[in-house]
Structure 1
Amino acid sequence: MGNDRQLPSDFETYAAVEQRNLIRRQAGLPPVDLQRELDRIRQAQERWAFEQWMQSPLRFRVEQKMLQRIRRRPNNPSWKPTGMLSGGGWAFHAVLTKQMRKLRARLDR
């Protein structure tokens, strides 16, 4: 496998799919679609890259700005995102992730 993010390169994927299709033909099964495998690996690479992006110091800064904004509304400086709903931990994380995706798209342009 390629050393980049522990995911195979396109060449390694071609070879693996070809080997898998050989075995599948011998077993009488339909072949695996090469494009589908390449798309699956690229999606995994994108997810990995986004996870790395979420670990960056920029995420901490975005999170702090969001917390400040939320704390200002009810004038509660000690508010913490807890719980599952109503702006709590899970909802706060979802909004943070959405904000980070928008920021990444804007910075990647």
Structure 2
Amino acid sequence: AQTNGHSIISFQVNGFHLIFFVVSELGHHLHIMLEIGRLTVPNSLVSLHSFITPKNLSMLLRVTSIFWNCCVHVTPSFTNAPPSKLQEIATLFSMTDKSSSKAR
């Protein structure tokens, strides 16, 4: 489950639940699958506001960070380099609407 020594990100979908894993090879024919995050996606656009929470955003940032640090090969010259720094969670929240209206 590794490609050239790098781990692989995988996910499992069960209904509205997403579970993210990182799969690594420890030895010949020996792989580990480590859960790195789970979240529940909204079942409709009406409840989308409940998805954008600090907990969910932090988890998605963690999965993104693990992907860029563990699963990406050394960047060839013909591709874009991975982001040098992840957005801080506070920056993400500063971009969101501060109103508590669910009718947005």
Give the TM-score, by structure 1 length.
0.28
> Which structure has the higher relative contact order (CA within 8 Å, separation 6+)?
2
Structure with more of its chain in strand, by fraction: 2
Question: Looking at CA atoms only, which structure, 1 or 2, has the larger radius of gyration?
Answer: 1
Structure with more of its chain in helix, by fraction: 1
